[in-house]
Chains A and B, each alone.
Chain A
Amino acid sequence: MSDSTTLQDIPKQYEPNAVEEKWYSFWEDNGFFHSEPDERESYTVVIPPPNVTGVLHMGHMLNNTIQDVLVRRARMLGLNACWVPGTDHASIATEAKVVKKLRKQGITKADLTREEFLEHAWDWTDEHGGIILQQLKKLGASCDWQRTRFTLEEELYDAVIDCFIELYERGYIYRGKRMINWDPEAQTALSDEEVIHREVQSKFYHVRYKIKGEDNWVTIATTRPETILADTAVCVNPDDERYQDLIGKTAIVPVVEREVPIIADDYVDTEFGSGCLKITPAHDQNDYEIGQKHDLEIIDMLNPDGTLSEAAEHYIGEDRFEARKLIIEDLKKSDQLVDTEEISNKVGYSERTDAIIEPRLSLQWFCKMDELAKPALENVMNDNIQFHPEKFKNSYRHWMENIRDWCISRQLWWGQRIPAWYYGEGPEDYVIARTKEEALEKASEKSGKELGTNEHSSG
């Protein structure tokens, strides 16, 4: 020890800034963070990949400090410690950032082809990408940087396509027209998990509908009166004494003056409101199911951006919330707004954009989850995989037992493109293939026709 530093060399105060950079490069340059398989026991951690263009926040600080504590201790215990870093392409969040940046330059996404847009997105990623990983180094994170991965890099992109094809072939992936959660701001479908339900104050509008050919009315209540424009039935409980004589008659939808049937279904709760429901199959999950059962017409009154479509007949082009105000005025004028009540109810918001979600009927790709979820549930409940704290097993179990099919398609460009190829208008006129050549071959086989490629991009 006589050859070590003398007291004169030791600063009076600890100076972290000088010390940190020195030792971080020392560790990294000497390969202490790097791991290769060997005869030792492995200790592996994969980082929860942060958004590629994100910056460090306090949540990351905590999370990565904990990971580093675990990894450093494991390394000292003599285990072959390997902490794999990387970033996530974060489809919705990154695409939204690029769209916003383009908008500032006066460019809209619609002005660009898919290829042009992706070029902008890659430029953005190259410019901002990986900053967060540099920040983690400042914290002291002992990641194996030679193993840094990105979810959209070529190899991982291909793996996702392989996964889609594999699960399609195993019968888990299907295409279907379903009621999905639509984010009118990002203009894409979302999975159920990407919808945050919040309790808010709303108005409950009581509106009366005329019975055709009678001087008689029924009253319904709704928090979304603009959807009246897409009503295709009125529904009561078959056992409800009050409405026995109305079943089978025709009601006239206010404003649009559409004649719709009054139907009966057990689904209606006689205790709720007036016991009489408006049915809008295109814009509500439950209404959609009743519509299917009773073979009702489906009128989609919304454009993807949340404005009213031609099918609405009124307030065309107006935003959904503006249309709500307008229809209230019109209902007042026609003396059909009976009452307005303050209530608190749950409204779904987009996890990413915070826009109010619209239930929307849409043709999307889904992954069947019930079978897949079984081993995943079992192995957490039996502690084969341990949750800390253990209480999270409860919500995990609840979710896994009630798991619904996963809507996996997104109406975005930044991500792995779905390997489905269409050769006709029919619902089954598609094939799943890695390349165009493979797709052509498969399509010819499936359709029995000779097929060419569509060269012009429809983006």
Chain B
Amino acid sequence: MNIHQDEDVLDTWFSSWLWPITVFDPDFIKTGEANEELDYYYPTQDLVTAPEIMFFWVARMIISGYEFQGEKPFSNVYYTGIVRDSQRRKMSKSLGNSPDPLKLIEQYGADGVRVGMLFSSPAGNDLLFEEQLCEQGRNFANKIWNAFRFLMMNKEEGKDYSNSLQIDEDNLVDRWMLSRLHETIDAINRDMENFRINDALHKIYSLIWDDFCDWYIELSKADEQGAKIPAEKLARGFNFFEELMKLLHPFMPFLTEEIWQRIRKRDTDEAMIVTGWPKFEETNIAEKDTELFASIQNMISAIRNIRAEFNVGTKTEIDLMIKAKNDDIAEALNANKWIFRKLQNIGSFEVDTDLTKPSTSASAVVAGSELFIPLEGVINLDKEKDRIESEIERLEGFLKSINKKLDNEQFVQNAPDDVVQREHDKKEDTETSLEKLNEILSELE
């Protein structure tokens, strides 16, 4: 009599269901006694996987974990979306809609692609990927690089740039930036703990791009053209920038390490990859300051809008009057007039709780305060009125032709729905524009 072994093999999942145990201690199944590694690393913390293999793999790892180890294999399972194209089609070779990941990395850089992946918009269990998102990632890297170059350009030989973040307590912009930084640290921490990785990245993205690059750096610039940023101000800029690089490192590891190592000389153990994650400190949150600064930001946008609407170039000096909501606001705005002046070409600048709107002036309301910009002498009123009137005339003609189309029953009934809808949208847009132009015209009277 003979003996022979079964010819068959075991299901692949019959091996991978042991993965979180056997990568640390392959003998454990037999011995039942955990080695030092299994003891230390098991249970693992987070498992990141696709929902398609919840039953094949995740469920079975949990089963084997309890059966053999008497303990869960991991504390959290994060199910990622299934990557699809913008038309929600599955990515496949035959459809030609599946980009080659390595080519993407070559083209946009690994950091750009990482950002592109994380920016893909979640839609149910799907994730809609477009190559353009990687481009957005690359542009972000370039924006940061430019900010970095700008700061470096302002460095001066022989000056000391301390590496601990000390803000100027008397400067609203510093207090605001510090508060925004800590608000974001806190928000990102909470996002990450709840696997809202996409949200966390959006927050750090806007903190760097909007708050730091577009406002903080702009407001750090020296008053005289071509002059360098004063050393202690520049040091603070670098310090903020370093904190931002830390927050960004998990998302864009290469760019951040490169900048980190270029800002100052570091020892090996001071590398970005092992530097400490910024600590959230609630005492740095200054709600009043961020509220005030947000109002100032909105006021400056309002001034920019007025310049655009009335055709007032950025180089043209304007006078500004702000009728403040109350005494506190008036005081705060008076103390921070320099912010307006740094960003806008302003002649006389008056802030008070009791002001009246001059005739022929543009106005805006921001957070309960009113802004007036006299236009007499700033623009050629007659020319501007003519320009607006002819624009109104043109739009009215256009509106007529749309209405004609929409009154045509044959068109409405026979044209495809989306074509008809487009006409309705055009009509609505034109009506809004007309309303706005008439309003502007009345301010010029």
Contact = CB atoms under 8 A, between A and B. Distances in A.
Interface in B79-105: 79-83, 91, 98-99, 101-102, 105
Nearest to B127: A62
Interface in B14-38: 14-16, 18-24, 26-30, 36-37
Interface stretch (A226-234, A289-297, A328-336, A370-378): A370-378
Interface in A388-435: 388-389, 392, 395-396, 399-400, 406-424, 430
Chain B interface category by residue count: 35 or more
A7 B23 CA distance: 47
Given A49-B16, A156-B26, A395 B110 contact: no
Interface in B95-137: 98-99, 101-102, 105-106, 108-114, 117-118, 120, 127, 129
A200 interface: no
A10 B152 contact: yes
Contacts of A43: 45
B101 to A, nearest CB: 5
Given A44-B44, A62-B120, A387-B79, A439 B3 contact: yes
A105 interface: no
B57 A379 contact: no
A58 B129 contact: yes
B266 to A, nearest CB: 9
B279 to A, nearest CB: 10
A181 B62 CA distance: 25
B258 A89 contact: no
A395 B14 CA distance: 22
B163 A1 contact: yes
A255 B264 CA distance: 88
B232 to A, nearest CB: 13
A176 interface: no
Interface residues of A, number: 135
A257 to B, nearest CB: 38
Interface stretch (A137-145, A205-213, A242-250, A275-283): A137-145
Contact of A388 (B14, B77, B110, B163): B77
A57 B110 contact: no
Contacts of A314: none
Contact of B14 (A57, A60, A160, A389): A160
B247 to A, nearest CB: 9
Nearest to A82: B41
B48 A45 contact: yes
A154 to B, nearest CB: 9
A26 B120 CA distance: 30
Given A17-B106, A77-B277, A376-B59, A418 B6 contact: yes
A421 B3 contact: yes
Contact of B9 (A19, A49, A412, A422): A412
21 contacts: A10-B148, A16-B141, A44-B41, A46-B74, A48-B49, A56-B102, A59-B80, A61-B113, A78-B277, A88-B15, A88-B16, A156-B15, A158-B26, A162-B27, A162-B30, A385-B75, A399-B59, A410-B8, A422-B4, A449-B1, A454-B2
Interface of B: 1-16, 18-24, 26-30, 36-37, 39-42, 44-51, 53-57, 59, 62-68, 72, 74-83, 91, 98-99, 101-102, 105-106, 108-114, 117-118, 120, 127, 129, 138, 141-142, 144-145, 148-149, 152-153, 155, 157-161, 163, 192, 194-195, 197, 238, 246, 249-251, 253-255, 257-258, 262-265, 268, 271, 273-277
Interface of A: 1-7, 10, 12-14, 16-17, 19-20, 23-24, 26-27, 30, 32, 37, 42-46, 48-49, 56-63, 65-70, 72-78, 82, 84, 86, 88-92, 114, 135, 138-140, 142, 147, 149, 151-152, 155-160, 162-164, 166-167, 191, 193-194, 365, 367, 369, 372-373, 375-376, 379-380, 384-389, 392, 395-396, 399-400, 406-424, 430, 436, 439-440, 443, 447, 449-454, 458-459
